[in-house]
């Protein structure tokens, strides 16, 4: 996520492609089959209602964050500017996979074209990495606010904030296109069934028979490069933050300083925790069903919970939302 490519299970590196004889059975395909969760007709209405509700809650929660930040001048600060962009990225991230899944459940048609699969995978990587980069930028913002409070307004000015968001977007686009260049080299596939409800890049790699080992090595290197720096940035920022907080003499001052980081730290743990859990779990359990269920955590649950984490622990956001509610009703 970010993690999505960087943490493929090692088992994918040693996936065996067909031999010369078996290669005759591999085909150039024009579409894939998304297996989803269950083919039981009795479960389809439940799954449809569940994921539609979760998707609508995700949209509403993140849109309310964006509306609150844009409507209240008191929230026109770097922290909330990055938060609104994170909400926008979450909307894009969950909208890349969930609507297609909902339509598939409703129509019982699990087919996705090859071009549609590449498009979905591309946006999945863009918005996923955008989440990753914005969390890193937000960690840097908290580092400046706590470690250099007197220079905060100078360092985190509007131009720097816009620049950091644009750099995050450009890095996300670059990584996505690099992955697409590798995937476009795939011609033959062993199977058309993707054991997930969306075009998971790891699943596409595991189905490929076009020099899979070399392609996986390239993907790993790209993912490691693009994934190492955000994680390192977050860890370094919090190392400096904790060091500065420990130097504060009063316990009240320590609590006040740390409380400004709790929401961000919670989202970081949720984001990376679910991502690590999905790919490490799939590497250990080798279960497509468990991997599919775990994928819901970072594609659906995490974007849905982020607005609640930030709004429930943030007095400014809650007051703004109450003001908006009173104006409307």
pLDDT in tens, 264-286: 888 888 888 776 666 565 555 55
Angle at 82 between CA 76 and CA 84, to 5 degrees: 75
User: Which stretch of 56-65, 138-147, 201-210, 229-238 has the lowest confidence by average pLDDT?
Assistant: 201-210
Band of pLDDT at residue 327, cut at 50, 70 and 90: confident
- Give the list of residues 6+ apart from residue 118 with CB closer than 8 angstroms, or none: 180, 183, 184, 199
Strand-pair category, 111-113 with 31-34: antiparallel
What are the tokens at 278? Answer: 């999905």
pLDDT at 316: 80
How long, in residues, is the chain?
329
Domains assigned to the chain: 3-13+29-328 (1.20.1070.10)
Average pLDDT, the chain: 80
pLDDT in tens, 140-158: 999 999 999 999 999 999 9
Q: Three-class SS of residue 299? A: helix
How many Cα atoms sit within 13 Å of 64 on the Cβ side?
22
Query: What is the crossing angle of helices 302-312 and 44-71, to 10°?
Result: 40
- Give the list of residues 6+ apart from residue 109 with CB closer than 8 angstroms, or none: 103
Band of pLDDT at residue 222, cut at 50, 70 and 90: low
Using CB atoms within 10 Å of the CB of residue 73, give its burial: 0 to 12 exposed, 13 to 18 middle, 19+ buried. Answer: exposed
The predicted model gives 2-30 an average pLDDT of 44
């Amino acid at each position: 996520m970010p993690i999505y490519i960087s943490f493929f299970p090692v088992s994918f590196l040693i996936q065996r492609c067909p031999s010369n004889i078996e290669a005759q059975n591999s085909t150039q395909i024009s579409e894939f089959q998304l297996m989803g969760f269950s083919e039981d007709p009795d479960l389809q209405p439940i799954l449809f209602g569940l994921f539609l509700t979760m998707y609508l809650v995700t949209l509403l929660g993140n849109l309310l964050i964006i509306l609150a930040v844009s409507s209240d001048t008191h929230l026109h600060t770097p922290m909330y500017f990055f938060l609104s962009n994170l909400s926008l990225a979450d909307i894009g991230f969950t909208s890349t996979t969930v609507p297609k899944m909902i339509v598939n459940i409703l129509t019982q048609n699990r087919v996705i074209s090859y071009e549609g699969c590449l498009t979905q995978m591309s946006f999945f990587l863009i918005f996923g990495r955008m989440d990753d980069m914005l969390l890193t930028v937000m960690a840097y913002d908290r580092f400046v606010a706590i470690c250099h409070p007197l220079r905060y307004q100078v360092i985190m000015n509007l131009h720097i904030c816009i620049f950091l968001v644009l750099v995050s977007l450009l890095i996300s686009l670059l990584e996505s296109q690099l992955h697409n260049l590798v995937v476009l080299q795939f011609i033959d596939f062993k199977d058309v069934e993707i054991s997930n409800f969306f075009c998971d890049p790891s699943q596409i790699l595991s189905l490929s028979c076009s020099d899979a080992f070399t392609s996986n090595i390239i993907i790993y290197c790209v993912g490691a490069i693009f994934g190492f720096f955000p994680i390192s940035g977050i860890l370094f920022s919090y190392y400096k933050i904790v060091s500065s907080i420990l130097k504060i003499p009063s316990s009240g001052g320590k609590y006040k300083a740390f409380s400004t980081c709790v929401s961000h730290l919670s989202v970081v743990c949720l984001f990376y925790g679910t991502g690590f859990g999905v790919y490490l779990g799939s590497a250990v359990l080798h279960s497509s069903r468990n991997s599919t269920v775990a994928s819901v955590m970072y594609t659906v649950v995490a974007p849905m919970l982020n607005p609640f984490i930030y709004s429930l622990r943030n007095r400014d956001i809650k007051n703004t939302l109450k003001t908006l509610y009173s104006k409307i009703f």
